[in-house]
Amino acid sequence: MHSLVARDNSLVGIELRSADARDQNWLFNLHELAHRELAEAAYGPWIEAEQLIFIRELVEEFETFVVVVENRDVGAVYLGERDGDTWLELIEVDPACQGAGIGASVLHWVVGVSAGRGCGTLLQVHRLNEGALRLYEREGFMRVGQTATHHILRHA
């Protein structure tokens, strides 16, 4: 497990563990809790079979971590590589746990790991997800591009 450390090097009580096949159903349930509303606003009706495939493919393609707080699974982060930088494909926190700094702490960890490797961190955020966009920009990410649906951001 990786313990996350705040910027002042104090432990923030968050750990990451590598996800495995036993986490698949939990990851899907988390994805539905965290993203169903946004997905429906952006793309139309939630189709469970398509979303199950989406999560399976994420777990297969990306290094997947479960975010653990006080021995409770509360989030997930999916990491890869793109253009020599760490690619943060997706970060999800259970809505019941949002607003407590968990997502920001995980983000700091990802940026720190990337910096330790001498690279930046890239991610995309849906244009409808203004709260996440504000978080990323507050944490030092800059807009470096866009697609029809997403902003692309990078932390140097």
- Count of CB atoms within 10 A of residue 40's CB? 11
Residues 6+ apart with CB under 8 A from 52: 28
Q: Residue 153 above 80 pLDDT?
A: yes
| Single pTM value for the model | 0.88
Mean of all residue pLDDT scores within the chain: 90
Contact 142, 120 (CB under 8 A): no
Contact 66, 17 (CB under 8 A): yes
Which ranges constitute the DSSP H helices of the chain?
A: 24-43, 48-61, 102-116, 130-138
Work out the burial of residue 7: count CB atoms within 10 Å of its CB; fewer than 13 is exposed, 13-18 middle, 19 or more buried.
exposed
| Domain coordinates in residue numbering, the chain | 2-155
Q: How confident is the model at residue 2 (pLDDT cuts 50, 70, 90)?
A: low
Residue 12 has phi, psi (to 5 degrees) of: -105, 5
User: Residue 11 has what pLDDT?
Assistant: 40
The CATH classification number of 2-155 equals 3.40.630.30
